[in-house]
Amino acid sequence: MPRLGSARGGAMPLTRDLPTGLMDALAPLGRQDIECAVTTDITPDGRFGREWLVVTTNHLAVYSDEAAPRRRLHLPLVHLRDVQTEHLIGCGALIGTVRNERCEILRYTHRHAGTFGEVASYLRALGPHGLALARGGDAPRPEFTGDEQGERLCPNCQRPLRGTEKACQVCARQGQVVRRLAGYLAPYRWRVVLVTVLMLAALALNLTTPYLLGQTTDFALDPHHTLSYASRISHLKWYCLLMLGFGLLAQCIAVWRSRAVVQLGMSLTHDLRTILYAHLHTLSLHYFDRRQIGQIISRVTQDTQALESVLTDGVQFFLVNILQLVGITGILMWMNWRLTLLILLPVPFVFVASTLFWPKMIALWRRFHHARGKMVATVNDALSGVRVIKAFAREATEVDRFTAMSRETMISDLAAEQTWSTIFPFISYVAGLGTLLVQFVGGVSVIKGDITLGTLMAFMFYLGMFYGPLQFLSRISDFMARSTASAARIFEVLDSVPEVTEAPNPIPAKHLRGAVEFADVFFGYDRHKPALKGLTFSVRPGEMIGLVGHSGAGKSTIINLLCRFYDVNQGAILIDGIDIRKLCKNDLRSQIGVVLQETYLFNGTISENIAYARPDAPLADVLAAAKAANAHQFIISKPDGYDTMLGERGVGLSGGERQRIAIARAILHDPRILILDEATASVDTDTESQIQEAIRRLTRGRTTIAIAHRLSTLRDADRLLVMREGRIAEIGTHEELLARDGEFARLVEIQQGMSEIVGV
């Protein structure tokens, strides 16, 4: 009977669910250990069904048919080479080379893509070991460390669990959301107490008014009362004064409460926004790749606002309304329980109608917001592309498109408003029927002399304060749902864990020499789709390397990994012989300078933009850096010189000017390793030569890795690295590569052909 993963003294995560039938089928393999066993969900004939991939010490096997397992494929590991995953549409395949022949090991749906990405890395790592085994050597055997991504589900809601998380975040969140929210209120607990006390006080004072009105009626206004004229006037005066005083006090308290609530709300929003924004900056680029920036912005701005409204207004209104309802019911019961029961008669109807009405209203409003959003997007789209519209004479089409959107907005808004104005008065009317009943039955009691007129009047006033909170409470579930959704979106960000993390004891690197080495680097933005496949090369300090290749060949990925925006999946990147994952992240980045294709300039002055990485740099250095970047002349020619504002509210700069500011920024930053990404891609020849000159000044003495589509611009590079599909196709100097007449020579030929066409 084979033992599971016993080589490491514990069961492998993926082997624990091995079915008994398969275990029996594995028995004839003898006493070999199972290193890895994973399941797929497509059979070779393309039907859904389970197959098992089992890797033992020396073999790889695929078993099909779970009930009566049959070995479909059996390969000795020493013959298996170059295992890759192939990303197909709707599914993927694990491919290997056996005795120089390509062979499909199995196929899987995307649910298992992550797992088989790991399996492929593991099998590739086994490659050298297999060779060592064949030669009788004793190389350390790699271990399968694949996680169970895509296979583990939340026991509660059956959502797939990510990474190593133990509980589904959605389930965990729903339970914790209120507690977590309360956590953010903790620093302000005394303010919360104050607000609550003020709220209760204002409520109590408000509740006295109808009672006092009733008393006024009975003791002062009732014409049949036996009290003397003077005494009745005195009663009237005192009750009015009392009501005046209570009203004023209630108003003061309400103002105080509102001010306290606003302050609480603003502080809370500020806290949440800051925490959220600070956390966003700790996250890796992976997080931003997967999301739209607009979405993240709305979390920082709108969701925090929504949450603030829940925590302050929402909780407050909820409490006020509940207490008001309870308080009034109590008072009414105490005054006259029979009449109270009459009031409660329409309550079920109001509650049910509101409960039914609100979801419909929300759906209508959502439709309206959606339509309006689309309309705004259309305007934005069209006005941003107004040149194209004019160039192709599509104005009329655009107007038609907008008219359609505007009509849709009008129709949806109309539907919402008309529904509202139809149903809402009706509900109000039915709610008012309670008042009518009380009026009638109470009126009869007054005529009979069972209750006083004052009691009836107080009753009527309380009734006015009764139905409002009732309607609010019918909306509470919707209100809570919307706010927990906002909260969940915020917590999703706060719960995201940065993927590129600082090593526990990072090695400080204040002064690097700039030797860069890629050692068998595998990396994919999705782990199962490698963008770099076993990349190995080294760059000497001060050397300039040009990266060449088609788009998607992996050039930008090399740069992203070197900046440690992402971590490699396999292999390592070394700077001065140290793995960059062990280097202090800030030190690493402070010694890497980038000039990117799309120069990002911040809102601020030109000098602030140049000194972005070194805000404390002497101004003379800023001037010198701009001069070295050939930017000084055009900056000085602007009225505000280096104080010219850039960005949204500032002046527009041309592509070449932006590039030169970015180069000045890099010169002032003075990095040991410099990265240039298509720095001259979109500028005219004159500007390009100015930029080239600036770049030559910048790269002198620095390790430089440059990407350029125009191959002529890489003439200064010491060596060129030609990339093809995530691998190095060729490496050498410009002349060597031309002489070799390979990929590079072909690319040069194509470009010369292109420039001839352009020349014509």
DSSP code per residue over 495-512: HPPPSS---SSPBP-SS-
d(Cα 667, Cα 448) in Å, to the nearest integer?
Answer: 97
Residue 65 token pair: 């048919």
Please identify, using beta-carbon distances, which residue of 104 and 640 lies nearer to another protein. Answer: 640
Please identify, using beta-carbon distances, which residue of 364 and 628 lies nearer to another protein. Answer: 628
Given a contact cutoff of 8 angstroms between Cβ atoms, the answer to whether 610 and 594 are in contact is no
Given a contact cutoff of 8 angstroms between Cβ atoms, the answer to whether 624 and 589 are in contact is no
d(Cα 690, Cα 631) in Å, to the nearest integer?
Answer: 9
Give me the least distance between CB of 606 and another protein, in Å please: 10
Please identify, using beta-carbon distances, which residue of 220 and 512 lies nearer to another protein. Answer: 512
Give me the least distance between CB of 700 and another protein, in Å please: 5
Give me the least distance between CB of 680 and another protein, in Å please: 20
Please identify, using beta-carbon distances, which residue of 516 and 623 lies nearer to another protein. Answer: 623
Question: C-alpha angle 354/360/364, rounded to 5°?
Answer: 135
Cα–Cα nearest to 511, from 575, 447, 420, 440: 575
Give me the least distance between CB of 613 and another protein, in Å please: 13
Give me the least distance between CB of 624 and another protein, in Å please: 4
Give me the least distance between CB of 619 and another protein, in Å please: 6
Given a contact cutoff of 8 angstroms between Cβ atoms, the answer to whether 399 and 386 are in contact is no
Please identify, using beta-carbon distances, which residue of 166 and 649 lies nearer to another protein. Answer: 649
d(Cα 423, Cα 361) in Å, to the nearest integer?
Answer: 10
Given a contact cutoff of 8 angstroms between Cβ atoms, the answer to whether 122 and 144 are in contact is yes
Give me the least distance between CB of 539 and another protein, in Å please: 16
d(Cα 137, Cα 129) in Å, to the nearest integer?
Answer: 9
Given a contact cutoff of 8 angstroms between Cβ atoms, the answer to whether 198 and 253 are in contact is yes
Give me the least distance between CB of 406 and another protein, in Å please: 23
Q: Would you give the distance in Å from CA 637 to the centre of its chain?
A: 42
Please identify, using beta-carbon distances, which residue of 127 and 650 lies nearer to another protein. Answer: 650
* Interface with another protein (CB under 8 A): 605, 607, 619-621, 623-625, 627-628, 632-633, 636, 639-643, 645, 649, 667, 670, 672, 697, 700-702
Please identify, using beta-carbon distances, which residue of 252 and 636 lies nearer to another protein. Answer: 636
Please identify, using beta-carbon distances, which residue of 326 and 636 lies nearer to another protein. Answer: 636
Give me the least distance between CB of 670 and another protein, in Å please: 5
What is the torsional sign of CA 561, 565, 568, 574? Answer: positive
Residue 640 token pair: 């505000």
Give me the least distance between CB of 643 and another protein, in Å please: 4
Give me the least distance between CB of 121 and another protein, in Å please: 38
Please identify, using beta-carbon distances, which residue of 86 and 621 lies nearer to another protein. Answer: 621
Please identify, using beta-carbon distances, which residue of 576 and 670 lies nearer to another protein. Answer: 670
Beta bridge partners of 97: 81, 102
CA distances from residue 744 to 225, 532, 592, 738 in whole angstroms, order as listed: 111, 19, 28, 7
Please identify, using beta-carbon distances, which residue of 95 and 624 lies nearer to another protein. Answer: 624
What is the torsional sign of CA 55, 61, 66, 70? Answer: negative
DSSP code per residue over 419-488: HHHHHHHHHHHHHHHHHHHHHHHHHHHHHHTSS-HHHHHHHHHHHHTTHHHHHHHHTHHHHHHHHHHHHH
d(Cα 232, Cα 225) in Å, to the nearest integer?
Answer: 9
Query: Both ends of the chain: CA-CA distance in Å?
Result: 76
Please identify, using beta-carbon distances, which residue of 130 and 593 lies nearer to another protein. Answer: 593
Give me the least distance between CB of 647 and another protein, in Å please: 12
Please identify, using beta-carbon distances, which residue of 124 and 632 lies nearer to another protein. Answer: 632
Cα–Cα nearest to 415, from 356, 365, 370, 354: 365
For residue 328, which phi and psi values (nearest 5 degrees)?
-65, -45
Give me the least distance between CB of 627 and another protein, in Å please: 4
